[in-house]
Amino acid sequence: MELIVEALPGRFDFDTGRTALVMIDMQRDFLLPGGFGAVLGNDVSQLASAIAPARRLLDWARRLRIAIVHTKEAHAPDLSDCPPAKRERGVPSLRIGDAGPMGRILIDGEVGSDFVPECAPETGERVLRKPGKGAFYATDLGDWLARRHIDTLIFAGVTTEVCVQTSMREANDRGYRCLLIEEATASYFPEFKQATLAMVRAQGGIVGWTASIEALPGA
């Protein structure tokens, strides 16, 4: 089905059969107290505003039979996929792999690495673990999308300027047409979210398009 969205910097049209919704890292580790985001010193309540719109976007994609990929930033328990430079970065209260109130910080399989219940994957949806900020780095996402002849990606999730923007830039360089849904993404720094939206759609859409969820037909 062909859909048209009034987006910025202009109209965005796409075929739902060749589109995937990429929901980035809606995990307890970023959204709830005691997780990776919190131990880095962030106010995790800044991300709460994205949860309901992200759920609305997921339900819209489900109704339209749009493919859904849920990414999760999480490392293997033995940290073999966590570069020391990432673990040693900054002065967090706990580091990746340390025991926290939701289990080991940013480790796959721990309570903190799981999705917030509102954005939990349903049967048939792809869960993609990634060790980096970008969804294409060290994952099979490119092959998975190619097998499905997908050429358009709709992005949402957290955080806007870190994992969402990195993934969107990776996708843009790989030739995907990318649309970011404004209400369904958030940053610990509201001004960084706004700056990201602006830089994505500047210069005629140098990285892609952005749109309100209200602009999605049927959402």
Residues making contact with ligand TIU (CB under 6 A):
25, 30, 37, 40, 73, 133, 158-159, 162-163, 188
Q: Which is nearer to ligand TIU, 40 or 64 (CB)?
A: 40
Minimal distance, residue 44 CB to ligand TIU, in Å:
10
**Measured from the CB of residue 3, what is the shortest distance to ligand TIU in angstroms?**
27
Q: Residue 11 Cβ, how far from ligand TIU at the closest point, in Å?
A: 29
Residues 6+ away with beta carbon under 8 Å from 182: 197, 210, 211, 212, 213
Rg (CA), the chain: 16
User: Is 178 part of the annotated catalytic residue set?
Assistant: no
* E strand or H helix that includes residue 166: helix 165-173
Catalytic residue check, 163: yes
User: 30 or 115: whose CB is closer to ligand TIU?
Assistant: 30
Rounded to a whole number of angstroms, the minimum distance from the CB of residue 161 to ligand TIU is 7
Of residues 135 and 216, the one with the C-beta less far from ligand TIU: 135
Known catalytic membership, residue 15: no
Number of H helices, E strands in the chain: 7, 10
Q: Which of 72, 82, 119, 163 is catalytic?
A: 163
Instruction: Report the residue number, 20 or 162, with the smaller CB distance to ligand TIU.
Output: 162
What SS3 class is residue 27?
strand
Alpha carbon distance 10, 13 (integer Å): 10
Q: Which residues are catalytic?
A: 25, 130, 163
